[in-house]
Structure 1
Amino acid sequence: MTTMLDSLFKRIGYKPGQQVTFADLPEFLSLLALQFPFENGAVLRNERISMTKTELTKALLNNKRGGLCYDLNAFLYYVLTELGFSVHMVRGTVFNAKEQEWALTGTHVAVILREGDETYLLDTGFGINLPLAPVPFSGEPITSKTGAYRIRKTKTDKGDYLLEMDKGEGWQIGYAFSLTPIDEAALTCVRDAIFDEEASPFNKNPLASKLTKDGKLILSKDHFTKQTGSDLAKEEVNAGDFQTIFIQAFFD
């Protein structure tokens, strides 16, 4: 086992030295989600790390930080490649359900996996909307503790496929995407758009979210929300307290 995988397995509490098979991916993805929050601290600090396996591994495994989709799903891609899976990265465009409009074009990153004759989508960088299992292109829904997810082939001006999710209120569009593979140069373009574009939702105010074993954490500049089972606690965040709460609540 490589040093990268050994360090990752220790970090997430996965069985040391054991190969990850396709059947193991739901457990593996769930463990990743518990360790690496979706957060935009690097954007607000203007810390533009290289989108290489070496730099992303160093940033995520050696520091108390998470990242956005281009960090977390690129890291997932590098890990799955190291594990021997047939994978590539793709770009997508998130649909803003509240505003009923597309967000900044082409600024979501996800992972496509081939297993036998089947194709699947994996995503560990979509906030708390994580399938926590490979989503098949057959259209069959998969269900996890975060809801139900499915792929629908529908041509839009943002891509040929939709990831849809049902959080208990019916199916909604998560994002559109195409299957064209992207590389580190494209990842850098996505990163720079998130850092620099006025339409970016991530370069203005701090935010962080993470799944927990029995709930979720959501932190904004104004509020800290903690859900444990059916219990929901929400408290105000004072100016300057975001980083302290983030470090204390989001990491073991």
Structure 2
Amino acid sequence: MSDLNFLFRKRIGISDDEVITFQNLDKVLEKTAKAIPFENLCIMENRTTQITNENVMSKILEQNEGGLCYELNSILYLFLIENNFNTTLIRGVVYDHMKQQWSATGKTHVANLIDHNGQLYLVDTGFGGNLPLKPVPLNGEMVESNNGEFRVDDQESEHGDYILYMKLKHKDEDWKIGYAFNSNEGFTNITELNEVQKIIIKHPESAFNKNPLMIKLTDKGNMILTDSSFTEWVDGKMTKKKIDEKRFSLIRKEYFNL
């Protein structure tokens, strides 16, 4: 077993001898979401590195940090390859619901596409609190998880041929757009993600270069930490508290281990 395979299993809590199959991939995704936070601290603290297999592995599996979509889904990609999945990375454009438009940062969302028995599935562990937690087939079929309902529609847009829709548990009454992507533009070299990281770091419309953000799923909901507030969702009920710099540091360590 490779170091990456061993360390990824250790980080999310899966035994060395468990065979990872498509049938138990939802278990892997849920454990990953609860163990590895979505966070932008490297950007906020000006300590980003080049996106390479070695650097992503070092950051997430050896230093036990989290990351943004291009880091979280690239380490998942490497783990899936190690476990004999037929997968590629894709880039998509997130829909900004606050502004009611596609994100000005362009194709900066990163996810995985898995080919299983001739059917393509979207697999994403880097979409903050919006994670499907299960493979979502590219045939419009809805999947339901502890985080809500999700589907991928064959739908042309200016950004590709498919759109992920979601209805988050306890939060959404109607379907809303997650992101659009092109299923024909898959890639396997994660160094391509340096372009994504550069945009996220420098673009004036980037949501991740202004304030610290940490999100992690829990057994009963999720936790969201910024430099000014700590929000907990538990069984559909939200508690939001204003915090100061000292409290931020304490919560960051206690709840996110960062």
Which sections of structure 2, spanning at least 5 residues, go unmatched? none
- Cα distance in 1 between the residues matched to 2:21 and 2:236: 33
- Cα distance in 1 between the residues matched to 2:238 and 2:207: 26
Which sections of structure 1, spanning at least 5 residues, go unmatched? none
Aligned residues: 252
Matched to 2:179, the amino acid is Y
Given candidates 228, 234, 245, the residue that maps to 2:234 is: 228
Residue 244 of structure 1: how far off its partner (Å): 2.9
- Cα distance in 1 between the residues matched to 2:176 and 2:57: 33
Residue 240 of structure 1: how far off its partner (Å): 4.7
Residue 213 of structure 1: how far off its partner (Å): 1.5
Aligned to 1:68: 68
Aligned to 2:202: 196
Aligned to 2:244: 238
Residue 23 of structure 1: how far off its partner (Å): 0.2
How big is each residue's C-alpha offset from its partner over 1:83-131, in whole Å with a ceiling of 9 and x where there is no partner?
1100000110000112101111011001000011110000000001000
Query: Under a length normalisation based on structure 2, what TM-score does the superposition of the two structures give?
Result: 0.93
What is the aligned-residue identity percentage?
36
Aligned to 2:186: 181
Q: Where does 1:37-116 land on structure 2 (aligned, <5 Å)?
A: 37-103=37-103, 104-116=105-117
Matched to 1:63, the amino acid is Q
Residue 243 of structure 1: how far off its partner (Å): 3.3
The two structures, once aligned, show a CA RMSD in angstroms of: 1.5
Residue 230 of structure 1: how far off its partner (Å): 4.3
Query: Could you list the runs of 4 or more consecutive aligned residues of structure 1 that deviate by over 3 angstroms after TM superposition?
Result: none
Aligned to 1:123: 124
Matched to 1:68, the amino acid is L
Query: Under a length normalisation based on structure 1, what TM-score does the superposition of the two structures give?
Result: 0.95
Aligned to 2:166: 165
Residue 144 of structure 1: how far off its partner (Å): 0.6
- Cα distance in 2 between the residues matched to 1:48 and 1:208: 16
Taking a change above 3 Å as real, the CA distance of residues 128 and 236 of structure 1, as seen in their structure-2 partners, is same
Matched to 2:177, the amino acid is I
Residue 77 of structure 1: how far off its partner (Å): 0.6
Q: Where does 1:139-150 land on structure 2 (aligned, <5 Å)?
A: 139-150=140-151
The answer to whether the Cα contact below 8 Å between 1:46 and 1:195 also exists between their aligned partners in 2 is no
Given candidates 201, 212, 220, the residue that maps to 1:214 is: 220
SS at match of 2:245: coil
SS at match of 2:93: strand
Matched to 2:154, the amino acid is K
